[in-house]
Structure 1
């Protein structure tokens, strides 16, 4: 198939990834190309050059309009709108069989566009006002929507999801996250260093449990880092930087437990399954999709409960490392995910031609 992958443009789709959405787009492009599809990645122009790129914007928008300063401001909205409007027009005229839309933008949801080029839209966030209406009116036979977890499905459609919506769990290539049969007794945390990811609570729980902890990830919120994270470093707690996938996999494999501390309704938690593939049980806060992702591969504690998380750490150190690895292979392996993506593409491309397109 000839597939247009439409990404978000806040950050580039390249390693090291800022977060799960960038990783999702990169793994999807890589996986579909490996299966013989012709893939064009519509993303920021500073994304990974190994892919065939059609830039939505010349560079990711944070480079010119930092989100923390320009969120909701007219100049940022106009900049992003212009890029997506032109990209959607190029897709419509580009002879694509299907669009996989990960943009979190309203234009690709319009039925006048999805009727021309069948579309699968993946929603990676809880419902928010700027997008909710456009999602609600967008389902059609040629437009299927996916969410990453059961909790997210309930959040978007509390009265019941339409037939054109389903759960598509995120996934990874287990081979890229090698299993290590024994850890060093330490903990590890990774993700964007920002308040809603809760690294300061992970530190507090690790201290309470008496284990060393290393943090990895991009420092997205510098004020939060300075006020809440940096003062907690030392005494077995350290920051290991922002690493690419290969280096991060090696660091994860050395540890014995992964701390997953969402302080918001986390739609999935890609970092958790990366750690699980390496053999790490997960000590997690019970927020968003955490319980659904972790399953029998760890233990969840009440949200924001540091003492409970410390107890979960102790329990996780008794779990056989083969359990989390097996859970990834059975539920979150990339080939399963790609099979499901291809089935969705086939379904929307079989939909009857719409009068909207005409």
Structure 2
């Protein structure tokens, strides 16, 4: 099959964002299985697929649409649109186009073949077209199981209100437990507020945006990953990454979180007091059990299996 992926023009793949990593893993796995895969992405992107680079950082969504339409390889079987605004899926091209709605920004956009990253998101959407869903997957071999945990809590995510970082800070203040905050700053005003609170709480530290080995180390050794999300999460990839390292998670049950943690309901918290009670205890599951949970549900191989079914459904007309 000849497959084209179109990713956002924000950062090169594999990048640090969930969309870029998913597109990277999926395209590589499709190549490994013998498919011919092209990926439209920023220059500097890495993939086993053939990269078609955008002209420059800062393309608008209209630039992406025009650039892709005018440079498509011949005889493409299916296009997979990962862009925030689904700029290719909404064009109604003659080529079957699958549109993954990675964020809530795409909920109201009308496309023929919408795919959500959770069943929860599918049920919440008002797209109007009969959609489907495919859970995100990770490269399990890229995450190391660590049985011995250090005595710290970890928040790993964007520094913005919808990710709930302020509740992670409040939890650290109430418990006095060592807490590491990691992630890019998206809300500077919120970041300043957090810095003021950290100045009064020496048990809290901010280490910036982390990638690669540093991110892996933090996930592996944390006693608990904190996920006090304040929004309707579409999936929550960091939950799966932590579990793959054998690290338990303490999460608010918003959006797709109960779906992702369906087999681990003990990790779902109703509020901050509930989360405080949970992280004061040891995990009810061994690190090995947590990794096994991911291996059975959220791998790149399983994700690719499901997307191949989706591609054939699109080629056959989607009905």
Establish whether TM, by shorter chain, passes 0.5: yes
Q: State the distance in 1 between where 2:187 and 2:12 align.
A: 18
1:68 aligns with none
2:97 aligns with 119
CA contact (8 A) 1:296 1:324 kept: no
CA contact (8 A) 1:126 1:155 kept: no
- Look up the SS of the partner of 2:151 in the other structure: coil
- Look up the SS of the partner of 1:54 in the other structure: strand
Equivalent positions of 1:17-56 (< 5 A) are 17=16, 19-48=17-46, 52-56=50-54
Q: State the distance in 1 between where 2:170 and 2:218 align.
A: 21
Structure 1 window deviating more from structure 2 (313-322 vs 218-227): it is 313-322
CA contact (8 A) 2:7 2:82 kept: yes
CA contact (8 A) 2:154 2:226 kept: yes
Q: State the distance in 2 between where 1:193 and 1:173 align.
A: 26
CA contact (8 A) 2:246 2:288 kept: yes
Q: What stretches of structure 2 of length at least 5 have no aligned partner?
A: none
Q: State the distance in 2 between where 1:39 and 1:293 align.
A: 29
CA contact (8 A) 1:209 1:313 kept: no
Equivalent positions of 1:266-345 (< 5 A) are 266-297=233-264, 298-302=266-270, 305-315=271-281, 317-345=283-311
Q: What stretches of structure 1 of length at least 5 have no aligned partner?
A: 62-78, 353-358
Q: State the distance in 2 between where 1:105 and 1:56 align.
A: 17
Q: Once superposed, which parts of structure 1, at least 4 consecutive aligned residues long, lie more than 6 Å away?
A: none
Q: Taking structure 1 as reference, are residues 204 and 317 closer, same or farther at Cα in structure 2, changes over 3 Å only?
A: farther
Q: Taking structure 1 as reference, are residues 246 and 39 closer, same or farther at Cα in structure 2, changes over 3 Å only?
A: farther
Q: State the distance in 1 between where 2:34 and 2:58 align.
A: 28
Q: State the distance in 2 between where 1:11 and 1:195 align.
A: 22
Deviations 1:312-345 (CA, angstroms, capped at 9, x unpaired) = 3234534322232121111111111111111212
What TM-score, normalized by structure 2, do the two folds share? 0.89
CA contact (8 A) 1:3 1:97 kept: yes
| RMSD between aligned residues | 2.5
Q: State the distance in 1 between where 2:48 and 2:285 align.
A: 39
2:74 aligns with 94
Give how far 1:24 is off: 1.6
What TM-score, normalized by structure 1, do the two folds share? 0.80
Q: How many residues align?
A: 317
1:58 aligns with 56
Deviations 1:79-116 (CA, angstroms, capped at 9, x unpaired) = 3213322213323x532221111113243123631xx2
Structure 1 window deviating more from structure 2 (269-278 vs 196-205): it is 196-205
